Amino acid sequence: MAPRPAATGAAPSEPAAPEPAAPVAGAPVAAPAWPEDPAEFRAAVRDWCGGHVPAEWRRAQTGASEEEFAAFQKDWFQQLRRVGLAVPHWPREWGGGMSVAQQIVLYQELAARDAPRLVLAFVAIHHAASTLLVAGTGEQRRRHLPAILDGEIWVQGFSEPGAGSDLAALRATARREGDGYLVNGQKLWASGAVHADWCLLLARTDPHAPKRRGISYFLLDMRTPGIEVRPIRQATGSSHFCEIFLDDVLIPAANLVGPQDQGWRVAQETLGAERGMTMLELAERLGHVGFRWLAEACARPGPGGRRPIEDALVQDRLASLETEITGLRALCRDLVERHAAGRVGPADASIVKLYYSELLQRTMDFGVEIAGPGGQTVLEKPASSGWESGAWVLDFIGSWEWTIPGGTSEIQRTIIGERGLGLPREPMGD
């Protein structure tokens, strides 16, 4: 793997990060007051990163066990949480409250300083939080939002065998039983389920209703009897994805989110969390660390002493990728700004998802080509990195995660055509 880029320290004249307020257990945590001016905020975040991003985290997380990975992730989350940088997109009363401009700067600086990703907390702080804030009850928010800040881990229980891209075809059932629901079925591709405390679960409560109208949305305690989690060994050698088997699992009725049989609408809020700032973060990481690894690989002498960057074709391809990445970053910034202003189009999120996923795949493919046969021997990557670690073969294999889940590229193109361009809908088969 390429050497880790050195973090740039902050100048002595830059403003220091604010001191965190002491958290109150079980209560909302107000975020410290960071500078509102974008330039001052950038300097303060850069200063904080210079003193807190672990210098050797990539080396320590390469080959880390599941326990070491989880411990590192929880510690890093709490470091960010204590100074109000973990959930900037949440409302201020729950520990967030940053402006869109501040959030953009934050993710740019974290990417530029090669900070670890919040892999383990991702579903909790984005999907679970957005669902609870939009559709949850007051009690559900009071129970779970402070717990997420304290380290509660969530998994998404949506996809099933035969119900991935066509999510509405799910077959897991939830039958009303007294003061709860008895759930049976199987979930697939549940990222990080082995670490999860709670699950966002979709199950069919009305088998006779049209498939999108008979689904309900639940909060499932993963310690409930009848749950079995099985890790799935992937081509990369890791077991990030899991299966979840549900055998007569009883969920209290109080854990129903939104009205019964209206879970499909609630799920759109969850899926919407993959848009906007989450995509901007990924684009910034690809543009900073990912492209930096690629440029360094092109500048490194090969077996015969010749550097790939001396080849005009390599220069052209590298310049083309840099141009595309610059366009992606601008597109993501535009999306989050228009989302905040309430001006997002029906296909905008699909455009960003399609663009990012296929550009990520092309970038990693080029990295594999540049690394040559020697790159095939790098079979470990830092557990807390993204899809731009510099372990090119693993990154390329992992990049396929983005062109399939959350709606395949084919589905994204259909959404763009029908909802964005107003083209006729595809004819339905028998």
pLDDT number for residue 274: 59
Taken in order of first residue, the domains within the chain and their CATH numbers are 1-120 (no CATH), 130-270 (2.40.110.10), 274-420 (1.20.140.10)
Give me 265's structure tokens.
């609408």
Residue with tokens 């697939």: 188
Calculate what percentage of the chain has a pLDDT beyond 90: 74
Which range has the worst mean pLDDT, 13-27, 79-93, 151-165, 402-416?
A: 13-27
pLDDT number for residue 269: 76
* Residue 422: φ, ψ to 5°: 75, 25
pLDDT digits (tens, 9 = 90+) for 129-160: 999 999 999 999 999 999 999 999 999 999 99
Question: Which residue would you say has higher pLDDT here, 201 or 11?
Answer: 201
Q: What is the CA radius of gyration of the chain?
A: 22
Q: 220 pLDDT band (50/70/90 cuts)? A: very high
What is the per-residue burial (b if ≥16 Cβ within 10 Å, else e) of 330-342? ebbbebbeebeee
**What is the identity of the amino acid at 124?**
A
For range 87-98, the mean pLDDT: 93
For range 402-416, the mean pLDDT: 88
Backbone torsion region of residue 248, taken as left when φ is above 0, otherwise alpha when ψ lies between -120 and 50, otherwise beta: left
pLDDT number for residue 49: 97
pLDDT digits (tens, 9 = 90+) for 361-373: 999 999 999 999 8
**What is the identity of the amino acid at 424?**
P
Q: What is the mean pLDDT of the chain?
A: 89
Residue with tokens 């079925």: 185
Interhelix angle 38-52/100-112, nearest 10 degrees: 30
For range 338-363, the mean pLDDT: 92
Catalytic residues: 274
Task: Count CA atoms within 13 Å of residue 171 on its CB side.
Answer: 8
pLDDT digits (tens, 9 = 90+) for 257-274: 999 999 999 998 777 765
pLDDT digits (tens, 9 = 90+) for 37-60: 999 999 999 999 999 999 999 999
Which range has the worst mean pLDDT, 14-18, 97-101, 207-211, 412-416?
A: 14-18
- CB 221 within 8 Å of CB 144: no
pLDDT above 90 for 308: yes
Question: Which residue would you say has higher pLDDT here, 293 or 240?
Answer: 293
Element (H, E) at 80: helix 66-82
- DSSP, residue by residue, 84-140: T-S-TTS-GGGT----HHHHHHHHHHHHHTTPPP--TTHIIIIIIHHHHHHH--HHH
For range 341-360, the mean pLDDT: 92
